[in-house]
Amino acid sequence: MDELKPEEKQVLEKLEEVIGKTIPRRTLSNSVIFGVEIFGGSIIGLGLYGCDLGHLPPFIGDLGGLRELFLGNNKLEKLPSSIGKLTSLVKLDLGDNLI
Q: Tens digit of pLDDT for each residue in 31-90?
A: 568 999 999 999 999 999 999 999 999 999 999 999 999 999 999 999 999 999 999 999
What are the structural domain ranges in the chain?
Answer: 6-93
- What gap in Å lies between CA 23 and CA 56, rounded to an integer? 15
Angle CA(56)–CA(91)–CA(93) in degrees, nearest 5?
A: 50
The reported pTM is 0.92
Return the CATH number of the domain spanning residue range 6-93. Answer: 3.80.10.10
